[in-house]
C-alpha cells in the first residue's frame, strides 16, 4: 500500500498527554480543524472537561484515562478509538515529564519512573499504533526534544529518555520502511516551550526551575504536529534554538560542553525558593490544566526556521526573490554610479 496521509478534517487523532501544554494546544487546534479526537492522560477530571469543551463547540471527542507507562492502559486508548470511531489515523505520543537535579542526587526509583512515562510510554503507544495502522496506513508522531540530540546538565534523566525515544523512533521507521508498511513515522524535537512542563517536573534543586531561552509558544509545536499528520516528515525541529543546540553538539561537542557548563546551571534556576517537592506529576497527575507555563521572558510565537524546514519550496522561493531584488538594486546602483553626476542628481530629485 502506498503511503498517503488524509486531510486533518477526515482524521481520527489520538493524543496522549492531552490535558496540558503541547497536548492541550494540539487537541484544541485539531478540533478547530474538524478532526475527531481520542484524548488520553491520567487526569480524569481534566480529560472530561476538555472532551466536553470540544463536543460543546461542535467537535467530536472521547477520552480515555490512562497511564502510558502501563501497556494495558495504552491498549484501552486504542480500544476506545475503535469503539467510538472505528479506529484512528494518527497517533501522537506526547505524554512526558521531567526531573530537575544533578544525576547523582536523583533516586533510582525516580529515574525508572521517568523512563516508564517518557520512553516506555512511547514504546507502548508506537507498537499499539503500528498494530492498527499497518494495514490502513497513517501517521505516528513521537514527541522527542532538541535534547534528543544534545544533553544538558540538570535534566540528565530527561535527556537520556529523549535520546532513547530518538533511537527507538529511528529504528522503528527503518523497519517499517523496509517492510513497506505505509506508516509515516515522525520525531518532533521542540526547543524550550512555554508550557507547565516545569510545574509538572520533580525538582531536586534548592530553587524553582525555569526554562533556558530561547523559549517558544506551544502553538508552534502543535502546528508542526498537525502538519506532520498530513505530510510525511522524518523529523522536525521546533525552534531554531533547538536546531542550533543540536548542531553545536554535533560539530563542536567539547566546546559545547564548556558552554553548557558555564551557562546551563544558572539558566535553569530561578531566584525563587523551591516549593513542596511532592507536588509533581512524576507518579500521579498534578499541576495546572493549562496551555502556558507563564515564562517571564520573551516567548517566540512563531519560528521562521521551522516554517522554512516544513515548506522548503516556499522558503527557497523567498530566498530567490530576495536575491533577485538585491541583484536588481545593486545593478541599478552600479548603473547610476556610472552616470553623469548632474544626471544622477536630477534622477534623485525626481
- Dist. CA 235–CA 224, nearest whole Å: 10
Helices (H) and strands (E) in the chain, counts: 13, 14
Residues 6+ apart with CB under 8 A from 130: 140, 172, 176, 181, 183
- By C-alpha distance, which of 31, 36, 46 is closest to 11? 36
Q: Which residue, chain included where needed, has cell 525552534?
A: 239
Q: Is 119 a catalytic residue?
A: no
- By C-alpha distance, which of 20, 16, 17 is closest to 287? 20
158, 216, 295, 305: the active-site residue: 158
- Dist. CA 216–CA 240, nearest whole Å: 10
CB-CB contact of 111 with 157 (8 Å):
yes
| Maximum C-alpha span of the chain | 85
Which positions are annotated as active-site residues?
158
Amino acid at each position: 500500500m502506498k503511503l498517503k496521509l488524509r486531510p486533518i478534517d477526515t482524521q481520527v487523532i489520538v493524543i496522549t498527554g492531552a490535558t496540558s501544554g503541547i497536548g492541550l494546544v494540539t487537541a484544541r487546534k485539531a478540533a478547530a480543524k474538524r478532526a475527531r479526537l481520542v484524548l488520553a492522560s491520567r487526569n480524569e477530571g481534566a480529560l472530561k472537561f476538555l472532551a466536553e469543551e470540544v463536543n460543546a463547540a461542535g467537535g467530536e471527542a472521547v477520552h480515555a484515562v490512562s497511564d502510558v507507562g502501563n501497556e494495558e492502559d495504552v491498549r484501552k486508548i486504542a480500544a476506545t478509538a475503535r469503539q467510538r470511531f472505528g479506529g484512528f489515523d494518527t497517533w501522537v505520543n506526547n505524554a512526558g515529564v521531567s526531573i530537575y537535579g544533578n544525576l547523582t542526587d536523583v533516586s533510582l526509583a525516580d529515574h525508572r519512573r521517568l523512563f516508564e512515562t517518557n520512553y516506555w510510554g512511547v514504546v507502548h503507544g508506537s507498537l499499539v499504533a503500528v498494530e492498527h495502522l499497518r494495514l490502513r496506513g497513517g501517521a505516528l508522531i513521537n514527541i522527542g526534544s532538541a535534547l534528543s540530540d544534545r544533553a544538558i546538565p540538570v535534566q540528565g534523566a530527561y535527556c537520556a529518555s529523549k535520546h532513547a525515544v530518538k533511537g527507538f523512533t529511528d529504528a522503528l521507521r527503518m523497519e517499517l520502511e523496509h517492510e513497506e508498511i505505509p506508516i509515516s513515522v515522525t520525531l518532533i524535537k521542540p526547543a524550550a516551550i512555554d508550557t507547565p512542563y516545569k510545574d509538572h517536573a520533580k525538582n531536586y534543586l534548592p530553587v524553582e526551575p525555569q526554562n533556558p531561552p530561547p523559549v517558544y509558544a506551544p502553538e508552534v509545536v502543535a502546528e508542526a504536529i498537525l502538519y506532520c499528520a498530513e505530510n510525511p516528515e522524518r523529523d522536525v525541529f521546533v525552534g531554531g534554538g533547538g536546531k542550533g543546540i543540536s548542531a553545536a553538539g554535533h560539530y563542536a561537542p567539547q566546546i559545547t560542553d564548556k558552554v553548557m557548563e558555564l551557562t546551563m546551571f544558572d539558566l535553569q534556576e530561578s531566584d525563587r525558593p523551591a516549593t513542596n517537592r511532592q507536588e509533581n506529576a512524576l507518579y500521579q497527575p498534578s499541576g495546572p490544566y493549562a496551555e502556558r507555563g507563564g515564562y517571564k521572558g520573551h516567548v517566540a510565537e512563531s519560528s521562521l526556521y521551522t516554517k522554512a524546514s516544513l515548506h522548503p519550496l516556499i522558503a527557497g522561493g523567498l530566498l530567490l526573490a530576495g536575491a533577485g531584488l538585491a541583484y536588481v538594486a545593486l545593478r541599478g546602483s552600479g548603473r547610476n554610479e556610472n552616470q553623469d553626476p548632474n544626471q544622477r542628481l536630477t534622477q534623485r530629485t525626481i
